[in-house]
Amino acid sequence: MSARTPYTIKGETGDWELVMGLEVHAQVASNAKLFSGASTAFGSDPNCNVSLVDAAMPGMLPVINKFCVEQAIRTGLGLKAQINTWSRFDRKNYFYPDLPQGYQISQFAHPIVGEGEIEVDVEPAHGGDAYSFTCRIERLHLEQDAGKSIHDMDPNSTYVDLNRSGVALMEIVSKPDVRTPAEAAAYVKKLRAIVIALGTCDGDMDKGNLRADVNVSVCRPGQYEKFRETGDFSHLGTRCELKNMNSFRFIQQAIEYEARRQIEILEDGGVVDQETRLFDPVKVETRSMRSKEDAHDYRYFPDPDLLPLEFEQAWVDEIRESLPELPDEKRARFETDYGLSRYDAGVLSADAEKADFFEEVAKGRDPKLAANWVTQELFGYLNKQDMELSDSPVSAASLGGLIELISNDTISGKIAKDVFVRMIEGEGEAADIVEKHGLKQVTDTGAIEKVVDEIIAANPEQVAQVKEKPKTMGWFVGQVMKASGGKANPKAVNDILKAKLGL
């Protein structure tokens, strides 16, 4: 991994830098809601999963779901964060048609999880190399979700579905440590990998179970360093919040547009308004949603219906002992046990599905060869086809069988790529394809020598040239491979040519 390099955006009056903090809302993986026993099942008919508490009927009191608390603690431990054994729920007051109580039960001054940090690997972007950076976590707090307003069922009416009302959310708030669009996407990917590994959120962004609010501001180079030294936010520009981002690609596109929008305003002598904005993926632009509220606008106060949340440190320690292997630990193991580079280990340990797939492919085989085929050939194909790993036409066992044929010199790497294409097209297992099409590699040195002798005899000028310029031996290699239909063992070809040509 290389060092983190400054990312600047060129404006008419000079360079600008980005500063971002993110608020990620992760729906707690729980069968019941945060303060009621109503179901959290997705896709139910409207208003079927609504208890009297969720509907805010008079006299109904919330009762905390212990399992949701446990899930928040597990997540905090996964973020290497401080777990607060005493926390408190507050009422966050605002009006929405799909918020029946007229307030949201959340945590303000005393969250269940305090400061932590995660290490984020960033793939090559903006012409640079891969690198990692540490993003500080400010807090994680529990809160209930609102319902959903539906505007497209009737041209004159808005319908309200309260199935999501009361569903438990973990809001994970970062410090303003994110500096590029690629870093923002990588940060959300890393958080998603952590909560999925922990089993505290399914990470399904299409269903809205994990979504990010991105606070974007721009400043001149050097101002962020002053902020880090002093903690004074006046060194940073006015932030705008990009609301409910549920796609890594959209996150990057929205940030790039929003940053340039703010720069144009500032360079024209204007002032950036603090507001919440939505991203239009069709027009690839952000638009104003509402003015951004500050904490005092919500009139927070302790929820009188809920006692402070208290638990013993022993319970936290018990939960810590039950944690699974997390992405960072898995990456380190892949580096140590399989001899992979940090980058490859990071890609393969990014989520449990990829990691499990790789380990099945690599079991009892050359791990570096397995990593190359998984990350380059298979993932490359899936990315081009916009497919998920779960939809791969080639299973881990089948890909492992192909790698075995390469390792034992049954086929060459070049032939293997042709076999892989045939596997994708549904022709069957690698060994069957090789047998059916007669693709076995020629390892008989006598047969290879015969081909080499014929090519050398027919090309005396090339022989003279290669003695002066040994690097031109590649021409002979190509001719031998062509004559053998690509089946000659490349190493044997090179060794025989060097001996015959006296190189």
User: What is the reported pLDDT for 129?
Assistant: 82
Strands (E) across 175-302 are located at 210-219, 240-245, 275-280, 285-291, 301-302
pLDDT at 417 over 60: yes
- Per-residue confidence (pLDDT) for residue 146, from 0 to 100: 94
CA nearest to 394, candidates 352, 422, 362: 422
Residue 488 DSSP SS3: strand
- Read off the pLDDT of residues 362-407 as tens digits, 9 standing for 90 and up: 999 999 999 999 999 999 999 999 999 999 999 999 999 999 999 9
pLDDT tens-digit readout, 479-488: 877 777 777 7
User: Looking at the chain, which residues constitute the CATH 1.10.10.410 domain(s)?
Assistant: 445-501
Mean pLDDT value across residues 337-356: 91
Least confident of 52-66, 214-228, 456-470: 456-470
CB crowding 452-466: b at 16 or more within 10 Å, else e: beebbeeeeebbeeb
Has residue 421 got a pLDDT over 60? yes
- Contacts by 148-155, CB closer than 8 A, 24 or more apart: 148/98, 149/96, 149/97, 149/98, 150/46
**9 within 8 A of 15, measured Cβ to Cβ:** yes
Average pLDDT of span 273-277: 94
* Overall fold of domain 445-501: Arc Repressor Mutant, subunit A (1.10.10)
- How much is the average pLDDT of 27-42? 97
Confidence of residue 127 (pLDDT cuts 50, 70, 90): low
pLDDT in tens, 206-220: 999 999 999 999 999
pLDDT tens digits along 279-312: 999 999 999 988 766 767 889 999 999 999 999 9
Closest CA to 68 of 170, 163, 137, 209: 170
Cβ pair 481, 488 in contact under 8 A: yes
Q: In this predicted structure, what is the pLDDT of residue 412?
A: 83
DSSP 394: S
Q: Is 85:309 a contact under the CB 8 Å cutoff?
A: no
* Residues above pLDDT 90, as percent of the chain: 73
Q: What is the pLDDT of residue 99?
A: 93
Is 90 exceeded by the pLDDT of residue 3?
A: no
What pLDDT does residue 126 have? 61
Task: Give the model's pLDDT for residue 448.
Answer: 72
pLDDT band at residue 442 using 50, 70 and 90 as cut-offs: low
Question: How much is the pLDDT for 443?
Answer: 61
Average pLDDT rounded to a whole number, residues 16-39: 97
pLDDT at res. 501: 75
Question: Mean pLDDT over all residues of the chain?
Answer: 91
